[in-house]
Structure 1
Amino acid sequence: MDYQEAIEFIHSTYKFGSKLGLSNITRLTELLGRPQDSYKIIHIAGTNGKGSTSNMIHDVLMAAGYRTGLFISPYLEEFTERIQINKVHIDKESLARITSLVKEKIEIMLEEGYNHPTEFEVVTAIGFKYFQEQNIDFLVLEVGLGGRFDATNVVSNTLVSVITSISYDHMEYLGDTLEKIAFEKAGIIKENSSVVIYPQEDNIVNTITDIAKTRNARCYLTDKNNIEKTDGNLNGQWFRYLKNDVFDLPEVKISFLGKHQLYNALTALRTLEVIKLSGYNITEESILTGLASVKFAGRFEILHEDPVIVIDGGHNIDGIKAFSKAVKENFGDNKITLFFGILKDKNPDDVLEYLIPLCNKVYTLTPNNPRAMKASDLDALIKGSYNIDVTVIDDYENIINIVKNAGKNDYIAFVGSLYMIGDVRTILRKEYL
């Protein structure tokens, strides 16, 4: 296989759907020699904040001198983003070679009577094998969907599990209450391990801690009162970590904007405390260097300042609420020009009430995904409920001309499905990055 053939093979497995369960990935990794047992795992589940928290932990571990893998999904612009080591994406030659190996093992599985692995299972196996070959120290491993039956949960060498913000999403798989969803996410907690929990509602925290107790896992809670914002602008925000019984930190800077990112940073710091207490060399200097260096494309990312252009992958109710709060916090009373696209299964009716009051104009787009809501249907939905100027964009390339005609004091936001945000970012960065 060459790189393009590998990508085509991987994407061809999309037709096998999304199946929760570990039998397929267990057998596939067995045939590969269980590569996931070769390094320590920081396993991260949750509805929102997984990516930001993962990147913060990854960059600090890297700054501390550890060879650190990062496995995330979905990708924003390039497939190779999903599998990284110390901020370097998997090279195309390695991806092609390992994909060929995985395909050979899948053929053995099929002969044994197993079902064909799903796309996510295939990518997970490729990542595990690559990280083994590259002899990493840590893998910061982001769950794909849920936790308990997610393909990533085939790991056993977990140093610490992290549960980020829980909200309603993928309810057809995970359940129709926050407690049921939290139960599924907490399925990544391993026997006699540690778990760090993002600060959230007691019913969610209690569900997670109850599961941890059954597995004799140590719970490390977070407290919003332990972090205090001291300053902020469009380039980032500064805070003090008030706990400081493991680390003695001065003022800390992150490039992420929004109060929710402070709580993600709080969760990352608590996780780094657990890693340090486990005997690893995490210093104050590595924390300051790592957190200051973190950039995560598509998460309230400021691409330009005059006019202000921001892109954000908020694609469910809590993600949109966080975006709305960040707009009010950073843009004041200024109205935004919104470019918006969403998947049909993300309850667009519910998120619009948080978005439309922020806007003076809306453009609708169709994300590049079979589950996408068509831009024309989204246009009709908005016009049916709100008195605001809405225009359908059929060709993403038209975006540049619209943005170029904006005034220097305008605020322009691209929000919604990551399948839209990635394509938009590819177009915009030619002009603005």
Structure 2
Amino acid sequence: SRGIVADVEEVASFWALGGRALSGVGDRLIAATPSERTTLPRPPADTLSRYRGEGIVLGHPRTQDGDVDPQPLVLPPELQRLHTLLVGATGSGKTVAAVTGLLANQDATDGATIVLAPKGDGMPEAYCKAHYAKYGSLDDVLYFDCSEVLPAFSFDQAWADLLARKPQRMVPDLDRITLLSELLGRPDQAVPAIQVTGTNGKTSAAAVLTALLNGLDLRVGTYTSPHLQTVCERVRVDGAPLSEGGFAERYAELAPYLAEVDARSSQHVTFFEALTALAYAEFADAPVDIAAYEVGMGGQWDATNLVRGEVAVLTPVTLDHPELGDRIEEVAREKAGIIKPGAVVVSAPQPQAAAEVIAAVAAEQQAELVTLGQDVRVVQRHPAVGGQVITVESVTTTLQDLFVPLSGAHQADNVAAALAAVEGFLGFAGGLDEELLAEAVSSVRVPGRLEVVGRGSEQAPVVLDGAHNPAGARSLAQALQEEFAHRRRVVMLGVLDDKDVEALVSALAPVVHCLLAVEAPSPRTAAAERVAKAAEGLIDDVRIAGNVEQGLQQASALVGHGDAVVVAGSLYTVGAGRAALDLDPA
């Protein structure tokens, strides 16, 4: 608790007891470690004696009392010619034991170390880092990522199976994802989590969270949606997306559990539920220190809401998905459903009705509410080349003249919210290294959010932004007007049919000189004719293009020096724009 002050001698007398009043930090203090959770008895002394003495050191076991045994376990010479299987629960030290044994083997032999990675996970990378740290070279390490060559379950098969799981209707329940997680051994509970919900800015906030936590030397799993170019973007460890081989292998492991839940349920596991379970398993096995989860839609009934949510971040809440309600209070209550007992809640400035709901739910859950504009403030902001420079005063930390490689006032708020969330996760203890945090923020990249793509001196730049609803369109228009000195803008717009197309176009109209209406590459797209009709009387030059690639070609022909092409609307449109520009997946 922030209200208790104790000196060093008094601290030893404190006891941490579980309960609703205990903070997330307190929960972590009393949580069982992997060794404490194991139910396996210690092997008899005569069995252990075979693995003492000379051999490849695997590590130090624990005594019956849980103390570290000073005598290591080894793999004796007569067993070194055989295959070795390391078995243990998530977090029990399999990777460390494997790396230790491989390094010992390297010391004892003259040959190369050959590392095969059938799962495409992080173990080979962990070994390579340890090997390089010890020997200063990787010349004698041969690394074969088998998942990239011969996956047991191809990426195309995994993607096809996922697409077949797209639901025909949304059902507000957690039954299937809960059963699936239980069959998997509750990987959702393996690590603490920060959840991010809201209407806009969730992916950006999650990206900043990841950078800040990485900057504090924590290993971070990040789960976001939707993706721009490949589904692998949705599941990341330390910012790096899963490879296609790694994704296929993980999905192959998940497949029998999906089939079991399908058989037991009236409705199959959905696309998003399957992906969420995949992220749960990936982060538990990595393992990561903390996971940042972007809510798919809403909050209370979202598949991500099983996690140990120690911090809840709520970006601005507006009306968007009709499934969540047609009043702001309804939407806010659904999104506030991610707030867990005793958690820290970080909320962006909200409409009054939404703010009241969030405050009420936080009080019900005995959660600590931190609000942007009151407890956390962006006190200074000005545009800079490649982004902006801001000063943020947070609960325990002030970051002055912080370079943020993202444009727009809304992104400054996302940085402030992420900083407060990190402080909350660490118990508002203070003492954070401001230089490390500043360096971390300067590395943030969020493709498809006011992303500027230069095309040389002969062609106008392209600005890509997933302004998929009226609130996003207003933020885009404000940023274009205040931070980009374009002479003319040709905006290619493709949105989904369930959005308020008319309000979205109206918000963009003041910064658009020519509108090219296209259809987003999705079955849910709004017709290009509807987009064009919404612009009548608001924009002088309105045209209809074919697909995104054709629209980009047409837009490029309409701009000259000092102009810009803007690709906006659905993230499906933005993703297709990135592909047409030959940009690698994010």
TM class, shorter-chain normalised? Answer: over 0.9
Contact persistence 1:16–1:116 (CA under 8 A): no
Distance 1:178 1:397 in 2: 37
Q: In the TM superposition, what is the alpha-carbon distance from 1:175 to its structure 2 partner?
A: 1.1
Written as runs of structure 1 = structure 2, the 5 A alignment for 1:153-172 is 153-155=305-307, 157-171=308-322
Matching of residue 104 in structure 1 with residue 266 in structure 2: no
Task: Tell me which residue corresponds to 1:79.
Answer: 231
Written as runs of structure 1 = structure 2, the 5 A alignment for 1:102-251 is 102-155=254-307, 157-171=308-322, 173-223=323-373, 226-243=377-394, 246-251=396-401
Of 48, 52, 57, the match for 2:200: 48
Matching of residue 389 in structure 1 with residue 573 in structure 2: no
After TM superposition, the structure 1 stretch with the greater mean CA deviation from structure 2, 140-149 or 97-106, is 97-106
Task: Tell me which residue corresponds to 1:363.
Answer: 516
Which ranges of structure 2 fall in alignment gaps of 5 or more residues?
Answer: 1-152
Distance 1:179 1:259 in 2: 25
Distance 2:245 2:561 in 1: 44
Distance 1:50 1:166 in 2: 11
Matching of residue 349 in structure 1 with residue 502 in structure 2: yes
Greater gyration radius: 2
Q: Give the letter for the 1:352 counterpart.
A: V
Render the CA deviation track for 1:24-78: whole Å, top value 9, x for unaligned: 1100111111101111100111101111111001111112111101000000111
Task: Tell me which residue corresponds to 2:447.
Answer: 297
Render the CA deviation track for 1:124-172: whole Å, top value 9, x for unaligned: 01111111111000100000000000111122x222111111011112x
Identity %: 27
Distance 1:187 1:65 in 2: 30
Structure 1 residues 114 and 100, CA, compared in 2 at 3 Å: closer, same or farther? farther
The residue matched to 1:249 in structure 2 has which SS? strand
Structure 1 residues 229 and 403, CA, compared in 2 at 3 Å: closer, same or farther? farther
Distance 1:124 1:114 in 2: 20
Render the CA deviation track for 1:215-245: whole Å, top value 9, x for unaligned: 11111112178213343134110011234x5
The residue matched to 1:213 in structure 2 has which SS? helix
Which TM-score applies when normalising by structure 1?
Answer: 0.93
Greater fraction helix: 1
Structure 1 residues 248 and 400, CA, compared in 2 at 3 Å: closer, same or farther? closer
Of 422, 433, 436, the match for 1:283: 433
The residue matched to 1:397 in structure 2 has which SS? helix
Structure 1 residues 387 and 407, CA, compared in 2 at 3 Å: closer, same or farther? closer
Which ranges of structure 1 fall in alignment gaps of 5 or more residues?
Answer: none
Task: Tell me which residue corresponds to 2:187.
Answer: 35
The residue matched to 2:300 in structure 1 has which SS? coil
Task: Tell me which residue corresponds to 1:317.
Answer: 470
Distance 1:214 1:242 in 2: 28
Matching of residue 263 in structure 1 with residue 413 in structure 2: yes
Contact persistence 2:312–2:344 (CA under 8 A): yes
Distance 2:346 2:539 in 1: 44
Contact persistence 1:41–1:141 (CA under 8 A): yes
After TM superposition, the structure 1 stretch with the greater mean CA deviation from structure 2, 84-93 or 117-126, is 84-93
Contact persistence 2:300–2:334 (CA under 8 A): yes
Contact persistence 2:299–2:337 (CA under 8 A): yes
Structure 1 residues 278 and 108, CA, compared in 2 at 3 Å: closer, same or farther? farther
Q: In the TM superposition, what is the alpha-carbon distance from 1:335 to its structure 2 partner?
A: 3.6
Q: In the TM superposition, what is the alpha-carbon distance from 1:311 to its structure 2 partner?
A: 0.8
Distance 2:227 2:155 in 1: 16
Which TM-score applies when normalising by structure 2?
Answer: 0.70
Of 209, 215, 231, the match for 1:57: 209
Higher relative contact order (CA 8 A, sep 6+): 1
The residue matched to 1:402 in structure 2 has which SS? helix
Render the CA deviation track for 1:87-136: whole Å, top value 9, x for unaligned: 11112233212212322112222332442111100110111111111100
CA RMSD of aligned residues (A): 2.1
Q: In the TM superposition, what is the alpha-carbon distance from 1:398 to its structure 2 partner?
A: 2.5
Distance 1:282 1:22 in 2: 37
Of 414, 421, 424, the match for 2:577: 424
Distance 1:373 1:414 in 2: 16
Distance 2:242 2:526 in 1: 32
Distance 2:461 2:248 in 1: 39
Matching of residue 329 in structure 1 with residue 482 in structure 2: yes
